[in-house]
């Protein structure tokens, strides 16, 4: 698999062990690092939040995203491109506008990876 391709993981719970289940192999660590690096920028994190908050199947036009930031349109497009390359969102051009949506299950898989089961009787 090339560095540009994203691996599609099934819905099987055993495919994505949580952080505490076992040490990450090198390939999985590299893939996850790309995603976390993309989310590590405040602008990209806000963009992801704005897109994901539209819900399952919801879309948002870039024309709605740009005014929320004190940044140029090319800068916003660059941040969106990095989110796409990380496999978090996808888009479609319709006329002069581009519409973005969160890829199904991606954030759930990240949340599941970061969660750790608490031993019985332990409270937070």
pLDDT tens profile 34-77? 999 999 999 999 999 999 998 777 899 999 999 999 999 999 99
Q: Please say if the pLDDT value at position 114 is more than 90.
A: no
pLDDT value of residue 24 = 81
Report the C-alpha gap between 50 and 123 in whole angstroms. 33
Residue 16 confidence (pLDDT) above 80? no
What is the pLDDT at residue 7?
A: 47
Give yes or no for residue 124 having a pLDDT over 60.
no
- The winner for highest mean pLDDT among 7-11, 26-30, 51-55, 75-79 is 75-79
Token output for 67: 């005014």
Torsion-angle region of residue 110: left (phi > 0), alpha (psi -120 to 50) or beta?
Answer: alpha
Tokens encoding 29: 């660590």
CA distance 45 to 43: 5
3-state secondary structure of 61: strand
> What is the reported pLDDT for 79?
97
Name every residue whose Cβ is closer than 8 Å to that of residue 73 and which is 6 or more positions away in sequence: 62, 66
pLDDT value at 94 more than 80: yes
How large is the average pLDDT for residues 79-103? 95
Residue predicted with more confidence, 76 or 11: 76
3-state secondary structure of 39: helix
d(CA 79, CA 67) in angstroms, rounded, equals: 14
């Amino acid at each position: 698999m090339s560095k540009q391709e994203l691996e599609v993981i099934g819905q099987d719970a055993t495919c994505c062990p949580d952080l505490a289940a076992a040490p990450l192999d090198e390939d999985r660590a590299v893939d996850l690092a790309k995603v976390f690096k993309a989310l590590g920028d405040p602008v990209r994190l806000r963009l992801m939040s704005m897109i994901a908050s539209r819900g399952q199947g919801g879309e948002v036009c870039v024309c709605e995203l740009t005014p929320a930031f004190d940044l140029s349109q090319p800068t916003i497009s660059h941040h969106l491109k990095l989110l796409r390359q990380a496999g978090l969102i996808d888009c479609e051009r319709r006329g002069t506008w581009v519409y973005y949506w969160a890829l199904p299950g991606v954030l759930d898989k990240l949340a599941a990876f970061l969660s750790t089961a608490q031993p019985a009787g332990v409270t937070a």
